[in-house]
Structure 1
Amino acid sequence: MKKFISILSGLFLLASVTANASEFILNEYNVITIEDFEGLGGTHVDGKTFVGGNYTGLKSDFGQRLDQNSRSDITALTVAGSINAQVGVYVHDTVLSSEKNIVTAAINSNQVLINSTLIDSKIDNVKLTTGLDAIKADYKAQLENSSAYFSSLAANSKIETNGNNKTFAIDKGLNTDNDIAVFTLDGSTNIFDLNNLSLSMTGDNANDLAYIVINVPGNDVSMLNNSNMNFDKNKFGSKIIWNFYEAEVITLNAQNFVGALLAPYATVTQTGGNIDGAVGVLSLITNAEIHLATNVDVTVPAPSAGRPVTQVPEPSSIVLMLLAMTGLIYQRKKLNV
């Protein structure tokens, strides 16, 4: 019986652990790259950026739209690898980087050299630290788990087609702040390969929803430069999560991309319009402005082993199972007396 009580205690502990969940990390960060970030010049990021690898490229601007009233508490740019840019980098708040980098004393009150890169920021705002690889591993796991969770959601809204015009029509029956509108693109046809593609979204109930997921299959995804994403970004932009859950290569040459871009296994190249939403990818090559737009009410369930999502019984289900086991053992003991 003591052994059974021990098992019982362990299973209750398991129930409490599997109930753990996390907030969607792209609500906090405007950009997360697990590996490298290459800015091709003219790159602007409104919010916070975490680079798990190296930052390279031409002049970029980080933290443009961070809260003016809490600048002392904000790290606008974190780089776990090295920082090397051909032209300087402007950072509106603190720069946090690994000890792999060399910081030279301030050139003046507002400029610092990190390696050979001129950083427009005060010397007091540039900090070297250890432990960023552990943070990188945590963020990698969070992005991958979020993507797996979103891809497991069943579609409940339809994509209407009229030639190369695709309309994402949110189901009218979704009308509470717990509801999630889910679209899944047909894996047999990559709509992004269509010439003159025009995407739009309808749904007067969008503001009532927790968020909107668009699941996109495929290893190699390209959006051509004559395509348009005509979503009303003021109405839908902050709610949309594009989940490229299989992609390894994504090329975006079209007009503005509207919504968060989640692709934890992909190298994303964006040389067309801007991105109106957060970005969480393996690596990023861009000259775009990345705007702070994502604000979704989502709690991602605790990760399960491996890449696919495995459904775990709710704690209440586990309790019922344990009660049934207890009753069975009790009945067997009575029969053996």
Structure 2
Amino acid sequence: MNISPFSLGVSMAAVSIVSSLSTSASAFSLGDYNLVVFEDVTSNSDVEGSAFIGGDLLGSSSNYCIKCDAGGSFFPFDGVGLKVVGDIEGNPKNVNNGTDLEYGGNLNAIVNMNGGGSIIQNSNLANEFTQLKNFLSNESTLYSNLASNSSINVPGQQPGPVIFNSSGDSVAVFDIDAADLFSNKTQQIELNLNGSSTAIINVRGTSANWNQGNIVGDLVSDDEVKEKVLWNFYEAETLNFNLALYGSLLA
């Protein structure tokens, strides 16, 4: 999957909750990383927690582990704030809060290790990533097959909000087409959890272009709500996000 420049706010706790829906044994958890991309990333984004990139990291300056305070819920399980299987190119990158950087290819960019983390070349990252990719692909398929139990209001002829209304079940499941979610009629995106402990938003479509319609409400202002939301772009090949997505992203 290719991801164009975007700003992403994600939460480790959210995917940890969702991962309990799977009964299969695995060395991985959906809570291990806040951003996982299967191929190259060209990014100017901020990632609140840790990231694992299966290809090269390119583009202008980007930031990782900006909320990884020691002992906090965003701090990576292995202390590594950024893993890149391939090369690191482009403008300076920032790895924050004393977390480490691991890379498998060539380091051709300045990386600022804010807080004193280490830079480590790791030849085993490709094998580790292959296992993680298989796990995540299986999880994405599992969630995409869940039956929707909650409603979505989308704009009609006139511009308006996209509103996700949970059924109030413990796990709220939504199903929406990317073209409806990010249409030119979408003015804002809002989620009402209504007591649900987890929200899984399955988004159909091989590509998504999001350049209007900010997320509003508790999903922006309340970290506890962010920790309960998983956006599952289970068919995605290309995501082009120019606005901030809150919750956890699986694609």
Which of the five TM-score ranges fits, normalised by the shorter chain?
0.7 to 0.9
- Aligned runs of 1:190-269 on 2, under 5 Å? 190-206=180-196, 209=197, 211-225=198-212, 227-233=213-219, 234=222, 236-254=225-243, 256-263=244-251
Question: 2:173 corresponds to which residue?
Answer: 182
The Cα shift of 1:19 comes to: 5.8
The Cα shift of 1:155 comes to: 0.7
Question: 1:150 corresponds to which residue?
Answer: 143
Higher share of residues assigned helix: 1
The Cα shift of 1:154 comes to: 0.3
Q: Please give the alpha-carbon distance, in whole angstroms, between the structure 2 residues aligned to 1:237 and 1:71.
A: 18
Please say if 1:59 is aligned against 2:61. Answer: yes
Q: Please give the alpha-carbon distance, in whole angstroms, between the structure 2 residues aligned to 1:217 and 1:72.
A: 31
Please say if 1:27 is aligned against 2:31. Answer: yes
Q: Equivalent residue of 2:89, what SS? A: strand
Q: Equivalent residue of 1:212, what SS? A: strand
Question: 1:77 corresponds to which residue?
Answer: 82
Amino acid in the other structure paired with 2:162: K
Question: 2:164 corresponds to which residue?
Answer: 168
Q: Equivalent residue of 2:194, what SS? A: coil
Structure 2 gap segments, 5+ residues each = 1-21
Please say if 1:87 is aligned against 2:92. Answer: yes
The Cα shift of 1:183 comes to: 1.0
Question: 1:131 corresponds to which residue?
Answer: 124
Q: Please give the alpha-carbon distance, in whole angstroms, between the structure 2 residues aligned to 1:261 and 1:71.
A: 17
The number of equivalent residue pairs is 219
Work out whether residues 39 and 54 of structure 2, in 8 Å CA contact, stay in contact via their aligned partners in 1.
Answer: yes
Amino acid in the other structure paired with 2:230: I
Question: 1:271 corresponds to which residue?
Answer: none
Q: Please give the alpha-carbon distance, in whole angstroms, between the structure 2 residues aligned to 1:182 and 1:138.
A: 27
Amino acid in the other structure paired with 2:69: D
Q: Equivalent residue of 1:143, what SS? A: helix
What's the TM-score once normalised by structure 2's chain length? 0.74
Work out whether residues 87 and 108 of structure 2, in 8 Å CA contact, stay in contact via their aligned partners in 1.
Answer: no
Instruction: Write out per-residue CA displacement over residues 87-116 of structure 1, whole angstroms, 9 at most, x where no aligned residue.
Output: 354443211122x33xxxxxxxxxxxxx44
The Cα shift of 1:192 comes to: 1.7
Q: Please give the alpha-carbon distance, in whole angstroms, between the structure 2 residues aligned to 1:221 and 1:73.
A: 32
The Cα shift of 1:148 comes to: 0.3
Q: Describe the shift of the 1:161–1:44 C-alpha distance in structure 2 as closer, same or farther (beyond 3 A).
A: closer
Work out whether residues 195 and 224 of structure 1, in 8 Å CA contact, stay in contact via their aligned partners in 2.
Answer: no
Q: Describe the shift of the 1:195–1:128 C-alpha distance in structure 2 as closer, same or farther (beyond 3 A).
A: same
Work out whether residues 29 and 48 of structure 1, in 8 Å CA contact, stay in contact via their aligned partners in 2.
Answer: yes
Question: 1:45 corresponds to which residue?
Answer: 47
Structure 1 gap segments, 5+ residues each = 1-17, 102-114, 264-337
Amino acid in the other structure paired with 1:237: K
Amino acid in the other structure paired with 2:165: A
What's the TM-score once normalised by structure 1's chain length? 0.57
Q: Describe the shift of the 1:23–1:37 C-alpha distance in structure 2 as closer, same or farther (beyond 3 A).
A: same
Amino acid in the other structure paired with 2:200: V
* Larger of the two Rg values belongs to structure: 1
Q: Equivalent residue of 2:205, what SS? A: coil
Work out whether residues 166 and 200 of structure 1, in 8 Å CA contact, stay in contact via their aligned partners in 2.
Answer: yes
Q: CA RMSD in A?
A: 3.0
Q: Equivalent residue of 1:28, what SS? A: coil
